[in-house]
Structure 1
Amino acid sequence: MPLTECDMKPLKTKAQIRDEINEQINAFIGDGGAVSSIPRGISGREPTTTPPLPISFDREQQTRTPVQGIVTAIEARRHARPLNKTIKRASKPRKKMIYDDFGQPLRWQWVEE
C-alpha cells in the first residue's frame, strides 16, 4: 500500500528545531535550573585508577629495504626498449567482389591478406 501525505510524518525545519531548543532552555532556567561555569583545565574524562598509556616512539628502528637500485634497473630496462608506435595487428578477412570475364559482378568472397 503506497504512503500518502497524511501517513508521512511531517519534517521539521531548522527554525522549528531552534525554537524548540530555545523553549527547552527557557523552561529549564525558569524552573530554577542554572548553567554552571566550569573553570579552565578541568577535563570531561571520567577519572580512572590508571592513567592512559602514553604513545611510545622509543622502539627499535626498523631496517628499510633499499629500493634505489631496483628503481634504476627498472628505468634502464624501460628506456632500453625501442618504442614501437605501430602495432601490428592480425589482418582481418575482408569482402572482395569477384567479377566474371565480362566485368560483371558475380559474388562477394571473403579473403585474407
Structure 2
Amino acid sequence: MTKPVKTKAQTRKEIESQVERFIRQQGEIKQVEMGASGLQDGKYNTSHIGFIEPKKDRTPLNHVVAAIQQRKSDKKAPTPPAKEKSKQPKKKIIYDDFGDPIRYVWED
C-alpha cells in the first residue's frame, strides 16, 4: 500500500490555511528585506566557512606514488586473448508508439 502523494495545489492550500490560522490567533507577520535573514549584525555569518585556517605546506610524495605505480605495473601480467563467444541470435522486441510490444524479431 503506497502513501498518497499531495499535489502542489493541496500543499499550497494547507500552507494558506496555516497562515490564516496564525493571523486569526493574533499572530503578526513581519516583512524582512531580501537577504537580511542570512546576516548577523549586518554581515554574513562566516563562522561556518572552512577557509579560516592559513594554507598549510604540502609534503611532496612523488617517490611514494612512483613506487605504487611500479608495483601496479609489475603485478599486471599479460592476459591471454579472450575467446570469442559463439554468435547466437538475440531476441529483440518491437514496440509500437505507445510502448506496447508488437512482435519479436531474431537478430544476429
Bigger radius of gyration? 1
TM range (shorter): 0.3 to 0.5
TM-score computed with the length of structure 2 as normaliser: 0.34
The structure in which a higher percent of residues are strand is 2
TM-score computed with the length of structure 1 as normaliser: 0.33
